[in-house]
Structure 1
């Protein structure tokens, strides 16, 4: 194998694949990047056995070939190279030449690198990179990070003829967004459960203007554009019926300025308990009243002008969950709905007709007095 590549293209390709390389592994080859030189381009690949990434970068290829090389050291070398680089192989070693610099890294043969999942893109969905980024950004944060219910570690992705929806929850808060799909593919409707780590790779690697093909095999999902491919193992099992936990009868409505609400919650969170992060919200009339009492630390309170329609209500929330939901609201005003102190509240963006179909839910905390 022998090819010449610009420093920028090499750094770009290695950086794209680096996120799929595990930091610790018992299989040495998983610490390596697979380098495949072909006609007019080099393909760089990495995997942690759950998610695999391949990117194609331009290069002048004199001799096709393939080898795997240590990802971390290769990336460190690429950052320091003075300019265009020639890369060749010598047995199971890779030789790197740039300017007056010469490196030799011990590699492993391509045969030891795990094969990528076989996904047939003959029946696929077509989505834009921008839509994928929007869904992933606004939903994946709500997935659980605890291992007690593995199914909640995933994001539910529903694909239909005219729209697609992502849902994530940890049982205490939930995020749901639906977007219309203008350019569908020829695949049937599907419900997929995808790990957020894989979706973060998709979000990072596919540009907003990219046309992305999405296809599934029995237990894997594949994403591809002209230059990038991402494959991930699907999470198996039925996702909980999220529709039944979204309240339909909340009859108390509050509209607030998002930035002002964020600021007030953030200030109350300073004094809230480190264990529960509990804050009290008292609703009734044109002022929302916050209060916090922490026996070990002290107390705090604040008032915020809002529009409120409904009977008086006192309700407790985890301040960190409220801040998470507010962080991802895409409009300057938000609407919250309530029913009772022990019932779930909802939060939605308030804006014009371009505002996405986006809803978040947060479970209350019991007030002690």
Structure 2
């Protein structure tokens, strides 16, 4: 291997693939990055038991040129530190027959012991249903993942709930996540029919990493579902994730079909008020009191103090109501609300509160189970 590549290109590639490095992997080689130089460019791959990320720096004769092909696995931690501390400009990689990678930049020369890339787990994508492919705008996909993945559980008690249900049927893609206390759902209209349907569960952590890596919002991501894996491809980036086995619980009976009251409020005003009230919220519990013209928010922590805030209502339908919620969960939802105004539907003291964008054309829906309090 003999390659010339700019430091900026290397840093960009590492920002992506390092997300898949396993710190405590039982396989030492998975603590490394597989670097392959071929006619298509310089390809970096990192993998753990759940996710594989591959990023390609294309050969363009200015920021990257391959003079001799080859491959090596280098320790991710040291390689990343070395690259980040080099001066800006061209970096040369040269590998000898003893699996030593020499990294040269201006007056700096580092020799890094590597491992045989042939021992790095090969990336296979088994696709018995080649028609299970969709293409979606990056901005739309980023928005949907951000809104839904926050509701995925972090507890391994019920593994399926640590994932996001991904259901593609015809021209629509439906994403659902719940941890048993909150629920998030969004339907995206793809606009292109397919002959088959797909219903899989993607680990929420992996999906959120995909969201962070989709940088160019005007581009398109191709999503391909295989037998036990799913793959996201956009530009020079490819992310492959394992799927969670099991059946995701149906949410049809969980979403209230009627409500007693509905209030509409400006999203940013409500978010800022909840953030203030949550500061002194003992066990993260805040209280919402809705009356004709305003929404009062209250919280307290014994021996420290209490907070009271209010936001004006744009509209109210139905009776006054009082409900207690987990303030942290409420903040997470409001921060990813993609509409200027938000609707809160009160469905009963013991029933979930429904949170929707005021624009009825948007398909996002959130639920939060209320917290029972003594008063």
Which bin holds the TM-score, normalised by the shorter protein?
Answer: over 0.9
Contact residue 296 and residue 310 of structure 2 kept, 8 A: yes
Could you tell me how far apart the structure 2 residues matched to 1:109 and 1:218 are?
Answer: 29
Q: What corresponds to 1:190 in structure 2?
A: 198
The answer to whether structure 1 residue 181 and structure 2 residue 190 are counterparts is yes
Could you tell me how far apart the structure 2 residues matched to 1:266 and 1:127 are?
Answer: 33
Q: What corresponds to 1:136 in structure 2?
A: 145
Specify the SS of the correspondent of 1:19.
helix
Which of 283, 286, 309 lines up with 2:290 in the alignment? 283
The answer to whether structure 1 residue 23 and structure 2 residue 19 are counterparts is no
The answer to whether structure 1 residue 205 and structure 2 residue 213 are counterparts is yes
Contact residue 212 and residue 225 of structure 1 kept, 8 A: yes
Q: What corresponds to 1:105 in structure 2?
A: 112
Specify the SS of the correspondent of 1:316.
strand
Could you tell me how far apart the structure 2 residues matched to 1:12 and 1:208 are?
Answer: 17
The answer to whether structure 1 residue 326 and structure 2 residue 326 are counterparts is no
Structure 1 residue 114, shift from structure 2 partner: 1.2
Structure 1 residue 270, shift from structure 2 partner: 2.2
Question: What pairs with 1:1-369 in structure 2 (closer than 5 Å)?
Answer: 1-58=1-58, 59-82=64-87, 83-90=89-96, 91-120=98-127, 122-123=130-131, 124-183=133-192, 188-206=196-214, 207-273=216-282, 275=283, 277-306=284-313, 307-351=315-359, 356-369=362-375
Q: What corresponds to 2:61 in structure 1?
A: none
Q: Which range moved further: 36-45 or 114-123?
A: 114-123
**Deviations for 1:78-107, whole angstroms, at most 9, x for unmatched residues?**
223232122111222111112121111011
Query: For residues 131 and 115 of structure 1, do their structure 2 counterparts lie closer, same or farther at Cα, with a shift above 3 Å needed?
Result: same
Query: For residues 344 and 93 of structure 1, do their structure 2 counterparts lie closer, same or farther at Cα, with a shift above 3 Å needed?
Result: same
Cα RMSD for the two superposed structures: 1.9
Could you tell me how far apart the structure 1 residues matched to 2:217 and 2:270 are?
Answer: 31
Could you tell me how far apart the structure 1 residues matched to 2:192 and 2:42 are?
Answer: 30
**Deviations for 1:39-73, whole angstroms, at most 9, x for unmatched residues?**
14111100012100111103311221111011121
Specify the SS of the correspondent of 2:252.
helix
Specify the SS of the correspondent of 1:29.
helix
Q: How many residues align?
A: 364
Could you tell me how far apart the structure 2 residues matched to 1:96 and 1:294 are?
Answer: 56
Query: For residues 5 and 360 of structure 1, do their structure 2 counterparts lie closer, same or farther at Cα, with a shift above 3 Å needed?
Result: same
Structure 1 residue 183, shift from structure 2 partner: 4.6
Could you tell me how far apart the structure 2 residues matched to 1:266 and 1:126 are?
Answer: 37
Structure 1 unaligned segments of length 5 or more: list them. none
Could you tell me how far apart the structure 2 residues matched to 1:287 and 1:138 are?
Answer: 27
Specify the SS of the correspondent of 2:253.
helix
Specify the SS of the correspondent of 2:256.
coil
**Deviations for 1:290-341, whole angstroms, at most 9, x for unmatched residues?**
3334434333333332132212222211111211111111122111101211
Query: For residues 66 and 318 of structure 1, do their structure 2 counterparts lie closer, same or farther at Cα, with a shift above 3 Å needed?
Result: same
Q: Which range moved further: 117-126 or 159-168?
A: 117-126
**Deviations for 1:118-139, whole angstroms, at most 9, x for unmatched residues?**
2338432222222221211111
Q: Which range moved further: 337-346 or 261-270?
A: 261-270
TM-score by length of 2: 0.91
